[in-house]
Amino acid sequence: MGRYVIRRLLQMIPVFFGATLLIFLMVNVMGDPVSGLCGDRTCDPATTAQLKADFGLDKPVWQQYLTYMGNLFTGDFGKAFNGQQVTELMGTAFPVTARLTLVAIVFEIVLGISLGVLTGLRRGRPVDSGVLILTLVVISVPTFVTGLLLQLLLGVKWGLIKPAVSPAATVDELLVPGLVLASVSLAYVTRLTRTSVAENARADYVRTAVAKGLPRRRIITRHLLRNSLIPVVTFIGTDIGALMGGAIVTERIFNIHGVGYQLYQGIVRQSSQTVVGFVTVLVLVFLVANLIVDLLYAVLDPRIRYA
Amino acid sequence: MTIIDTTADAPAPKGPADDGSGPLLDVRDLHVEFKTRDGIVKAVNGVNYNVSAGETLAVLGESGSGKSVTAQAIMGILDMPPGRIPQGEILFRGQDMLKMSYEERRKIRGRKIAMIFQDALSSLNPVLSVGYQLGEMFRVHQGLSKKDAKAKAIDLMDRVRIPAAKERVNDYPHMFSGGMRQRIMIAMALALEPDLIIADEPTTALDVTVQAQVMDLLAELQTEYNMGLILITHDLGVVADVADKIAVMYAGRIVETAPVHELYSRPAHPYTRGLLDSIPRLDQKGQELYAIKGLPPNLTRIPPGCAFNPRCPKAQDICRTDIPALVQVTERDGSALPGRGSACHFWKEQIHG
């Protein structure tokens, strides 16, 4: 187990460098980073040259990358073009997005798994068909439609929530955005759990559990769920990474100043330092989330052993 | 000792109450059907049998003869729907279990009637340790603590002779060999010292030497606890050693009942004859093995008359129209053979040549 973790952590190193290099190159291709600094006008050549020299943009790309990576390991993610430290932006953005992701994941786990178990055990009944159709609708409607619609109805028309989230972004403010963010994954979790539960409900060991005279609740929680949740855990685990970085649409709609918002700003303002910095951290989040999922496998299913 | 009840119109040879307490389990005219897309599958069509304490009943039959479905109906683990029990009674100590509530039945399962399944690997939960699965019986039914339950689990594993029980109690099912896994299944069924054990082909998944060990263990524990045992099998070799009486099933009906040695020496049904002839024998090495021609009937369309008629070498016109009842089998002089019944129009010709 320990050796496996070490091996996996070592494997992260090339993935990390590869991913950051790709992002670095892509951001460079995006366009001239200096051009965005003078507002709508084009900068005069002298200023451009001065700025480029200041930021080290006159050097070849590989040298820029090495300098950047070197700085990265001293904890210096560079400056955004408005002069703010990127680490400072991260410090405000990541806690907000982490809260949003947490709300979304809780929705996925609580709602998604409960609905999945409910429908899985009542396959073919009206509840099952109803939830199935609902999940289909949620999956087919894009997030921005769900988001804008809920914002319009709950926030503007009925005044149940504030249409925009304050900079503090407390958990109760994030409930509706979290639900919107989770919606598609939630539908997938429901379907995944449903299939898994329905399949395992016919398994021999469930029949044994019934024959042992166990109460129904115990059969479901101890015997059925434990086996059914293995694929669901994989999905939710990888979804954490996706939710952390993929909240751009939801954060824009509800004006949440999280990672998605900063990434969007960075792209629009061509602030390559911000984009590369944030994405680098997201790559790390993905890698760690994947490792945790793999380790959770072994906890959930003793037949899986890592050496 | 009691014997298998015959159908209503057959004379009951010996009353089930003659040992004073009545049979442990008495199945009466049990019917089970399943609703499927192709129509209603009539899996069990009027089965009668009973088992007393300390007695072993072997239920014999091909796949799809309804032997397992009957057992599942007794345990109350049929999938309902699609399964349905349109008529019949399952009396356990005189009480009809089919009329009990879910909770009442649950309390009988595992505690009074336990079941051993065929494939121990898939029948044990792969993600829970065997100690946990064994201990669960004590925790749920007797409210023992985790620690006490584990100690009891170790005792059980010792009793079914699993070596190094203490070290292996936290192992998972996949870490055991096939024979050891089946021992764990047996231990689980024995945990609360039930009155009746139903063993559904307990040795099918095992190789021959392990089969013998497992059967010996089962028989030994049965005598020790004076349990009733229903042994479901299609292996005539397994039956001969351990069973007291045999019920042969075909297409959801009992076609012949007999004390074990009588069945082997003088079968009273052509189907039983066919089964016995299909056993490979050492003295017939090299010769072609006998097989009953044809296939078991489709249970959505059971042939009219005797269900065995399309495959029966002795079938006559009456076999294609009238369903033979399970009747008392007698000697040539008319004296009843205790415990023997046959559902064949021509049982006399079969048994007396």
Which pLDDT belongs to residue A39?
Answer: 61
Which pLDDT belongs to residue A187?
Answer: 92
* H or E segment to which residue B25 belongs: strand B25-36
Inspect the interface and report whether the beta carbons of B117 and A207 lie closer than 8 Å.
yes
* Alpha helix ranges (H) inside A56-107: 61-73, 86-107
Best mutation target among B111, B127, B129, B230 (most A Cβ atoms within 10 Å) is: B127
pLDDT category of residue A114 using cuts at 50, 70 and 90: very high
> Could you tell me how far CA B48 lies from the centroid of its own chain?
12
List all residues 6 or more positions away from B287 whose beta carbon is below 8 Å from its beta carbon. Answer: none
Name residues 188-227 of chain A within 8 A of B (Cβ).
Answer: 202-205, 207-215, 218, 222-223, 226-227
A-chain residues near B106 (CB < 8 A): 213-215
Percent of residues, chain B, with pLDDT higher than 70: 94
Inspect the interface and report whether the beta carbons of B77 and A222 lie closer than 8 Å.
no
Tell me whether strands B245-250 and B253-259 are parallel, antiparallel or unpaired: antiparallel
pLDDT digits 0-9 by tens, A222-253? 899 888 988 898 888 888 878 877 678 888 88
pLDDT digits 0-9 by tens, A187-234? 999 999 999 998 998 888 999 999 998 888 899 988 998 889 888 988
Best mutation target among A196, A202, A212 (most B Cβ atoms within 10 Å) is: A212
B-chain residues near A209 (CB < 8 A): 125
- Based on the number of CB atoms within 10 Å of its own CB, is B99 exposed (0-12), middle (13-18) or buried (19 or more)? exposed
Which pLDDT belongs to residue A92?
Answer: 84
Q: What is the DSSP letter of A155?
A: I
Q: How many helices (H) and strands (E) does chain A have?
A: 14, 0
Instruction: Taking residues B298-311, report their average pLDDT.
Output: 85
Global ipTM: 0.82
> Could you tell me how far CA A45 lies from the centroid of its own chain?
41
* H or E segment to which residue B96 belongs: strand B95-96
Which pLDDT belongs to residue B15?
Answer: 38
Tell me whether strands B253-259 and B336-342 are parallel, antiparallel or unpaired: antiparallel
pLDDT digits 0-9 by tens, A115-170? 999 998 888 888 889 999 999 998 898 888 888 888 888 877 887 777 777 777 67
Instruction: Taking residues B120-127, report their average pLDDT.
Output: 89
> Could you tell me how far CA B336 lies from the centroid of its own chain?
26
Query: What CATH number labels B1-112+194-353?
Result: 3.40.50.300
Please name the residue of chain A whose CA is at the shortest distance from the CA of residue B78: A207
Which pLDDT belongs to residue A81?
Answer: 67
Q: How many residues does this entry show for chain A?
A: 307
Q: Which CATH class is domain A86-272?
A: mainly alpha
